[in-house]
Amino acid sequence: MMSKENKSKKTYVQKYTKIWETDPDLKGWLAPDLTNETLATCKYCRVVLKAHKKDLLSHAKTEKHKKATAWDKSAKACKSISEVFKPAMSESTKIAELKIAAFIAEHCSLLTVDHLISILPQLDPSSDALKNLKIHRTKCSMLIKNVLGPSMLEALVEEIADFPYSIIIDESTDLSTQKVLCIMIRFFSHKAKQVVTTFYRIIKIIDCDAKSVHEAIVNQLKEDGIKIENMIGIGVDGANVMVGKYNSVTAILKRQLPDLIVVKCVSHSLHLCAEKAAESLPRQLEFLVRETHNWFSYSPKRLDYYRTLYETMNNNSDPKKIQGLSGTRWLARYQAVNTILEQWEELKLLFSIAKSDDKCYMAEQLYDIMRRLPFKVLLIFLKNELKHVTQLNLLFQSNNVEPITLFEDLFLLYKNLLKRLVVPSQLEKLVDSELIEFNFREHLMHTASMYFGFDFHTISQELEEKDLLDVRERCKNFLCSLAEQIQKRLPDNLSLLKTVADLHPRIATSQVKPDIKPILNIIQRSHIYGEKNDIESEWHQLSNKKWSNTSSSADFYFEVYNDCDAAGCKRFENISKFGLAFVTVPISNASVERAFSIYNIVKNKLRNRLSIKMLQSILMVRFTLNRNEGSCVTFNPSNKMLNLINVNMYDFKKSESSDEDEIFNVLNNFQ
């Protein structure tokens, strides 16, 4: 009976269950066997298994299955053919992305490009060109650093070619305590047909001694393929490491280039001369200028009150802002002094009211100075003297001046001071070259005989005799000190720089002209200046032809350079090379100061870890756009730039914008 019941009882058979495929250990590789519902298959191992969950889990732990799973993941990581062989970026897209990168380099932080590139497609959803733009922080930084900057530098080097050039250098320490050397380059561009002063290199240096700076300059010129033997001039400040007599940067360079023209920055020198001369004037004058500015600088209430007072006294006209004093820009005081004198009565009334109503001690001090006429007379004298010095300083800082005659203007300022101080009979005995070493203090006129200007003469008549004598003595001391300081800081090669003024077109085209042998005796490199005998011969022939460009030296000698005879040979090749070489001599290092100003704007507190290479490229982009009298709007990428846009432009290092990301992420946490 029992055996019969056992035979009739059915055995349970486990079938494949679909829900197993959701199990984390079975998911992805488990599949049913289509021929038998009691079996399962492994997609990775290609084997058939019993549809028992325990057996399936055991299979998942085998080495064979683990290897097969790893191979499958590797295969899925490989890109498809369509992904690998993407269509090449169109030329119009490359141009658009380069123009965006130029815009960022000229105006913005790299972080800006992320939002900019997201906004542009929204402006015109139907535009395929805007949709195809794929430029974010990493790509933008690579375009600036590895495409725009290097391409523009290469174009600059090609433009310089084998023509003569000068460099202008200065070193500084930025806000990250990194020492950098900035090099500007000045040359005559045959492409632009004008003298160009532009940014060349920013170099990180470890030591600021003369040897290190010299090696940095020479090595960089060699690396870029610019011939050091074509350098004719160098502009520096007055630091001993730059212009020392024996082991300075210029001294080392002159051993290699004996006829190198060294130009100390006149702007720095004039600043120091005026600052030193002002020590002979009463301290109350500086106190008045400084504290008058400070009176308004931190108080909108005071400024509004003074504006109302000024408008009442001057028919609703607004008062000029009084400039603050600067320890590094002493000549900026001219504007402050001039403004105070223009508003003398208004300021005097203001301080009188503040002294009485507010019981302000500072106002009382300022009013006490302004009510005393001798101080006003001295301030008028100071304004007139600073005006001449400031005007000359601005000329040396400008790029749109006649460089050949500029040092003649410096000597004329010194000579005019001597004429106001020295007995005329003594000056008549001396030629210009002797004035440089002239001990003028031994031949000063009597103070009563000196003339200090019409304004001074007019207002000083109201002074008492005792005050007038004191004021005139102080004015005399100021002029003596100013002349003495200028005399000390006149360039050592001033005679050469003054002689260069004879190359001006007005003199070069005249029938009677000076001899240029003094200059020819100094120059040595004929491949730059031309053959000396031919230079002199062609110099005397210039007046035989009528020239159209005689106002600018650069335009004139470029016209002379292009003048050819009937056979197409250059008629005045040597004298034109000679003239074009000298127009590239630096006049000051104001341009390198401007470069450092831009450097400090780009590398600020939020972007203090930008690399030197990125800073080099950003400065190169900005100066190149400015040199071409354009901007990112008119910028047209070259074919070389377009060809550089490929995978090789990525250096696969930390992005230049990642440092900014860290800072801005921290700032965002506080919002």
pTM (2 d.p.):
0.79
Task: Say whether pLDDT at 4 is over 70.
Answer: no
**What was the pLDDT predicted at 663?**
45
321-348 mean pLDDT? 82
Label residue 87 by pLDDT band (50, 70, 90). Answer: low
Residues 544 and 644 in one domain: no
Task: Say whether pLDDT at 170 is over 60.
Answer: yes
Strand residue runs (E) in 612-662: none
Task: Say whether pLDDT at 128 is over 70.
Answer: yes
3-state DSSP call for residue 376?
A: helix
Residue 234 DSSP symbol: E
Residues 158 and 107 in one domain: yes
| Within-domain flag for 63 | yes
Domain end point (choices 471, 494, 517): 494
| pLDDT digits 0-9 by tens, 172-228 | 988 888 899 999 999 999 999 999 999 999 999 988 899 999 999 999 999 999 999
Residues 122 and 183 in one domain: yes
**What was the pLDDT predicted at 671?**
43
| Within-domain flag for 365 | yes
Residues 6+ apart with CB under 8 A from 354: 360, 363
Report how far apart, in Å, the C-alpha atoms of 375 and of each of 292, 355, 382, 447 are. Answer: 15, 19, 10, 19
Residues 205 and 322 in one domain: no
| Cβ atoms of 595 and 604 closer than 8 Å | no
| Within-domain flag for 352 | yes
Residues 293 and 249 in one domain: no
Kindly report the three-state secondary structure assignment for every residue of 180-195. EEEEEEEEEECCCCEE
Residues 554 and 421 in one domain: no
Lowest mean pLDDT among 156-170, 341-355, 388-402: 388-402
Residues 547 and 637 in one domain: no
| pLDDT digits 0-9 by tens, 287-316 | 999 999 999 988 899 999 999 999 889 887
* Cα–Cα dist 146/186, whole Å: 25
* Cα–Cα dist 181/187, whole Å: 20
Task: Say whether pLDDT at 275 is over 60.
Answer: yes
**What was the pLDDT predicted at 654?**
52
* Cα–Cα dist 477/177, whole Å: 42
Domain end point (choices 540, 566, 582): 582
Select the more confidently predicted residue: 284 or 37. Answer: 284
433-436 own/partner pairs: CB under 8 Å, 24+ apart? 433/495, 436/487, 436/490, 436/494, 436/495
Residues 6+ apart with CB under 8 A from 54: none
CA angle 526/528/532 to nearest 5° reads 35
3-state DSSP call for residue 453?
A: coil
Mean pLDDT over each residue of the chain, to the nearest integer: 87
Label residue 88 by pLDDT band (50, 70, 90). Answer: low
In which residue are the tokens 């050819």 written? Answer: 564
The domain containing residue 404 runs over which residues?
Answer: 390-494
Count of structural domains within the chain: 5
CB atoms within 10 A of CB 198: 21
* Cα–Cα dist 38/56, whole Å: 12
| Cβ atoms of 489 and 393 closer than 8 Å | no
Residues 462 and 415 in one domain: yes
Q: Phi, psi at residue 315, to the nearest 5°? A: 55, 50
**What was the pLDDT predicted at 656?**
53
Domain end point (choices 77, 110, 126): 77
CA-based R_g, the chain, Å: 38
Q: Which residues pair with 42 in a beta bridge?
A: 30, 47
Residues 128 and 247 in one domain: yes
Residues 6+ apart with CB under 8 A from 177: none
3-state DSSP call for residue 413?
A: helix
| Within-domain flag for 415 | yes
**What was the pLDDT predicted at 623?**
95
Residues 198 and 144 in one domain: yes
* Cα–Cα dist 153/160, whole Å: 11
**What was the pLDDT predicted at 401?**
78
Residues 205 and 108 in one domain: yes
Longest dimension (CA), the chain: 158
